[in-house]
Structure 1
């Protein structure tokens, strides 16, 4: 089983890990694409005003230009600890024990804009780049990443992929055709069974779900395995058309 997570715009600063090592990241075939995006971001950062404009930074967030300038030399944190925000606060990886964090390392990729999908325990620096940003010197990020990420995921060869990414990040690397995958939508049911999609609680539910998987050490190889695990753990998950699933909260 492979779980794909979106990143978060907010990140924990600093870190105590060694600087970014592109050769140590998951999906090693993405190394040249990672290097190209990093080079473009570092170059952009030489002009703070232009970088702030391109990255759509408020005055309060202009310090993130310096984060991009230091991508090659800054300290790192495991990706699962670098990101903050609703999903990652709910996952709360810092409170998991070594075995549970090892489960995350084996089964979870977080899909970043500058590095592509990285392993949950891969060390990454703080940065600022969103999926929809157009970076001078690069084609659209979708053109940079989509085909390369899909190929890399195919090589990874997971028997079942649980896709919890936002649609913007799915566009940066669709799951390969033919792979058993489920794109998860989080919904709630109102009176009369009316279903309504969620926004804020969508992220919270995804974080809770991944935490529950890690706590259980789930051994899941197929869609049927996941549905059986979810039902046994008290989650309401429904199969939907086109391979999607609804997580009802």
Structure 2
């Protein structure tokens, strides 16, 4: 079973001393060509810092993000799951994960990057700034990624649990063996979609998976595991995850 996450805008600086990006070493080698095309577009865009700031929707205090992009092929790398920060990724407690958890994560957790496409948890990447809706020269990230990512996901021979935002789904819908997870708030008489607690709930949900490292093969297995954890997970056309159950069970 694969758990497919969106990336985050915020990322840690730094990485392993002496390391640098090795595109050919990244997982899902079928994506090497669009990855190199994406990096070339980022390099072209970054040549004009002012235009790049507009394309990336950066404010005046975020000039360092363009500088990150200018150094992306030579700056140090770290595992993808450690690179990303923010509301979804901070609850994962990556700094506290042991070897077994990292091994499970690399096998089962995939992050969908606007720059690199699909990344397994342990894939070594540099800091960068590019979002699903960033404007790149002469084309769009949707045109670049949608076909290749969809093809890879369609070929995955296991259930894909899609925890991405809809913007990243647009860069490559998952295949027939997938279920999209929608996080909702249960107000008793009605349910509503969430934003901030949507991300936090997903992070806590994946953190519990990293802690338990369950052996799961289908949605029934996942639902049973979730119930044992106190999470309300309801399969259907979309899989519904009730935020309150995750937040309360993780206190």
The 5-angstrom pairing of residues 145-160 of structure 1 reads 145-155=145-155, 157-160=156-159
Q: Report deviation, 1:46.
A: 1.5
Partner SS state of residue 15, structure 2: coil
Q: Report deviation, 1:82.
A: 0.5
The 5-angstrom pairing of residues 144-223 of structure 1 reads 144-155=144-155, 157-176=156-175, 178-179=176-177, 181-191=178-188, 193-223=189-219
Runs of 4+ displaced beyond 2 Å? none
Q: Report deviation, 1:98.
A: 1.0
What TM-score do you get using the length of structure 2 for normalisation? 0.93
What TM-score do you get using the length of structure 1 for normalisation? 0.94
Pair 1:246 & 2:243 matched: no
Q: Would you say the 8 A contact 2:219–2:235 is kept in 1?
A: no
Pair 1:121 & 2:117 matched: no
Match of 1:101 in 2: 102
Q: Report deviation, 1:222.
A: 0.8
- Measure, in 2, the Cα distance between the counterparts of 1:147 and 1:80: 24
- Which consecutive unaligned segments of at least 5 residues does structure 2 have? 245-251
RMSD: 1.2
- Measure, in 2, the Cα distance between the counterparts of 1:103 and 1:70: 31
- Which consecutive unaligned segments of at least 5 residues does structure 1 have? none
Q: Report deviation, 1:106.
A: 0.5
- Measure, in 1, the Cα distance between the counterparts of 2:165 and 2:157: 20
Q: Report deviation, 1:44.
A: 1.6
Of residues 37-46 and 201-210 in structure 1, the stretch that sits farther from structure 2 once superposed is: 37-46
